[in-house]
Amino acid sequence: SICINRSENHLTVFPQMAILGSISSFDKRRLRPSITRITTSTGQIFEEVRRNDGECAYDRVFVGQGPAPQYFEDSVQGFSELDCQFFDKGNDKWDSISRRALTLPPHSESDIFRLVSYNVWFSEKNWKNRAHTLLSIVEEENADIICFQEVTQDFLDEVLLSKWVRASYVVTDARGTSTMPYGVIMLVRSTLAITRARLHTLPTNMGRRFLLCELLWCGLPLAVGTAHLESMDNAPVREAQLRRIFDVAASTPRLILAGDFNFHAGMPENRLLLASAADSWAAAGAAPSCRRGGPLRGG
């Protein structure tokens, strides 16, 4: 409310608060009894009943148990199901792979599996030129799986507009669920049958998550995971994240893990990694270290 004080030469206006319940002239009978149904985060259903005397108070009555909301299930289970998307050329839009007709290629299509992984850097500095250049480089690799880390919504938009992506790939997160403020995505060759894609929570202070995509390759089940582990002086957190990743992937028969792990071969986390996995870089005969440089430049 506003209180106005009039003097001979001017008006003084100052605010004045009044609580409805403290006004003696307020007729509480005008507040009619009402019933409001609510659902809690665990799926419990209650009815809140305003009392007949008009008091601003409620009686809560339990009326049943419903399914918990998806966000609660996700938080309890530690993961979110992703609805992978393909580009529907006929309708000029990205749509769920559950609504596409997939004809799998012959079993012997290829015995070579190609994977590319790249941290695209979330910075806004010259981001559009960097995005276009990187996507051009990655296109030439003709990979079966492409893993990106530090994906922002702007970068994802460029991915979704790319003709070669639309023509040949499924995107694990075309809606940008994992890109706030930045996250991880995969591009999966559209001839590969995706059976499940999940975004798993990790122990983190930086919003890190683990993307695990299960698919069929040449008729064989294969899981591909990507993550961006904690940066800076956080070795214990990275070790905890690796343990969580291998716990999550324990039920998969074959796992390829790629990403930005934020440690090198001489750090303690690498011993933990090699205790559960083989280093494909070293197995291919390359040196166990990389030097800094431009796109796709290694040691």
Residues 130 and 149 in one domain: yes
- Give the residue from 77, 105, 125 where a domain finishes: 77
Residues 36 and 54 in one domain: yes
Residues 113 and 137 in one domain: yes
With a pLDDT cut of 90, the percent of the chain lying above it is 47
Q: Compute CA distances 83 → 11, 42, 88, 170, 201, whole Å.
A: 62, 23, 15, 10, 17
Q: Is residue 240 part of a domain?
A: yes
Identify the pLDDT of residue 76: 57
- Give the residue from 58, 77, 96 where a domain finishes: 77
Residues 52 and 160 in one domain: no
Residues 105 and 238 in one domain: yes
Q: Is residue 6 part of a domain?
A: no
Q: Is residue 163 part of a domain?
A: yes
Residues 268 and 175 in one domain: yes
Identify the pLDDT of residue 52: 63
Q: What is the pLDDT of residues 275-295, one digit of tens each?
A: 888 888 777 777 655 554 444
Residues 83 and 206 in one domain: yes
Q: Is residue 257 part of a domain?
A: yes
Q: Is residue 16 part of a domain?
A: no
Q: Is residue 277 part of a domain?
A: yes
Residues 83 and 69 in one domain: no
Residues 145 and 105 in one domain: yes
Residues 161 and 258 in one domain: yes
Q: What is the pLDDT of residues 86-137, one digit of tens each?
A: 999 999 999 999 877 655 555 445 678 899 999 999 998 999 999 999 999 9
When pLDDT is averaged across residues 245-271 and rounded to a whole number, the result is 91
Beta carbons of 164 and 157 less than 8 angstroms apart? no
Q: Is residue 165 part of a domain?
A: yes
Three-state DSSP class for residue 23: coil
Residue 240 sits at φ, ψ, to 5 deg, of -65, -35
Split into its structural domains, the chain has a count of 2
Residues 57 and 149 in one domain: no
DSSP string, 125-138: TTHHHHHHHHHHHH
Q: What is the pLDDT of residues 12-23, one digit of tens each?
A: 544 444 444 444
Query: Which residues sit opposite 94 in a β-bridge?
Result: 87
pLDDT band (50, 70, 90) for residue 239: very high
Which domain does 251 fall in, by range? 79-283
Q: Is 25 or 44 the better-scoring residue by pLDDT?
A: 44
Identify the pLDDT of residue 128: 93
Q: Is residue 298 part of a domain?
A: no
pLDDT band (50, 70, 90) for residue 209: very high
Identify the pLDDT of residue 226: 97
Identify the pLDDT of residue 213: 97
CATH number of the domain where residue 229 is located: 3.60.10.10
Q: Compute CA distances 121 → 118, 181, 208, 234, whole Å.
A: 9, 12, 14, 19
Q: What is the pLDDT of residues 130-141, one digit of tens each?
A: 999 999 999 999
Identify the pLDDT of residue 247: 94
Residues 68 and 89 in one domain: no
CA–CA dist 149, 147 (Å, integer): 7
